[in-house]
Amino acid sequence: MEKIEKLQELLQMKNVEDVKKQFKEIANMLFQDFHIEKEGVRYDFLEVEFYFYNEKHPDFITYPRNTKAGEWVFHMSGVDISFKSEKEEREGKEVAVFGGGILVRSILKEGEKTPITGSYKCVDELFDKFDAFGSNLENFPILKPNEKMSKEEIKSCVRWIPPFTGNFDEVKKERKEKELSEKYKKEFDSGKFEELINEKYRYYRADFECMSVKNYPAQPKF
Q: What does the angle CA 50 – CA 92 – CA 55 come to, to the nearest 5 degrees? A: 40
203 CB-contact burial (10 Å; exposed 0-12 / middle 13-18 / buried 19+): buried
pTM: 0.95
Residue pLDDT, tens place only, 126-164: 999 888 887 778 889 999 999 887 788 999 999 999 888
Distance (Å, whole) CA 108 – CA 220: 16
Give the confidence band of 35 by pLDDT, cuts at 50, 70, 90: very high
pLDDT value for 133 = 86
Distance (Å, whole) CA 75 – CA 179: 18
Query: Which residues make Cβ contacts (< 8 Å) with residue 134, sequence separation at least 6?
Result: none
Average confidence (pLDDT) over 92-107: 97
Distance (Å, whole) CA 23 – CA 16: 10
3-state secondary structure of 178: helix
Buried residues in 22-42 as b, exposed as e (16+ CB within 10 A): bbbebbebbbbbbbbbbeeee
